[in-house]
Every structure is written in C-alpha cells, then in structure tokens.
Amino acid sequence: SQTIHQWPATLVQPVGSPLSLECTVEGTSNPNLYWYRQAAGRGLQLLFYSVGIGQISSEVPQNLSASRPQDRQFILSSKKLLLSDSGFYLCAWSHPGGGYGYTFGSGTRLTVV
C-alpha cells in the first residue's frame, strides 16, 4: 500500500533562517507531488506541484522554493524565512493517471518567530 511521510511535525524557526521540509512517498512510482499551505486552519493554498523528477511548477510567487531530487521525494525550502511564512504545510501525492484525488501527509506546523 502507498504511504506518505512528512517531517518534521512542528518547527519553530527564527526570521531569516533557512527552511527545509521533506516529504517522501512509498509504494508507488512516478507520483504527482504537491505542497500546500494552510493559514489559520482554513483554506488550502497550492504552492508547488511536480509531475516528475526535477519538474517543478509554482502556483504563487513567494519566498519559498521546491525541489524533487528523486522520484518519491519532494522538498520545500527557503533561504530566509519571513514571519508571513508561518502556517501549516501539507504535502500530498496523486496517481500520475489522476482521477483518484490526493492523499495528504500529516502536515508540518511552522512558526516563524
């Protein structure tokens, strides 16, 4: 069966520090991968998605970047965090053929202080 792992679960970082959040998927090949941010426990904002290794599409201009160094690994990064980067970050995957929705990770609560 397929599983998705996301870590860390919580993170407190000072303004100006770098960020690296990691997401890995097991049990499937060539998944579509997504990073979402959720502010104040409400709407889901799509940040990045990837349909293959090294292929990253950005949905909104921001202080963050994403990379996909391996087929089932998706990384969200920042060189210098801003206060506004605080939020709940969710990784998700879907079948490359689509049609079955997304499976989400358990999320990372990022607080920038």
Q: Does 94 bind other proteins (CB under 8 A)?
A: yes
- Whether residue 13 contacts residue 112, with contact meaning beta carbons closer than 8 Å, is answered with yes
Given the rule CB under 8 A, which of 11-19, 61-69, 72-80, 87-95 is the region that contacts other proteins?
A: 87-95
Q: Does 24 bind other proteins (CB under 8 A)?
A: no
Q: Does 87 bind other proteins (CB under 8 A)?
A: no
Contacts for 101-108: CB closer than 8 Å, 24+ residues apart: 102/34, 103/2, 103/4, 104/4, 104/36, 105/4, 105/5, 105/6, 105/23, 106/6, 106/9, 107/6, 107/9, 107/38, 108/6, 108/7, 108/8, 108/9, 108/10, 108/11, 108/21
Nearer to other proteins, 16 or 38 (CB): 38
Q: Does 35 bind other proteins (CB under 8 A)?
A: no
Given the rule CB under 8 A, which of 13-21, 42-50, 60-68, 73-81 is the region that contacts other proteins?
A: 42-50
Among 24, 32, 78, 86, binds other proteins (CB under 8 A): 32
Gap between the Cα atoms of 54 and 90, Å rounded: 20
Q: In the complex, which residues of this chain contact other proteins (CB under 8 A)? A: 6, 32, 41-44, 46, 49, 51-52, 90, 92, 94, 96-107, 109
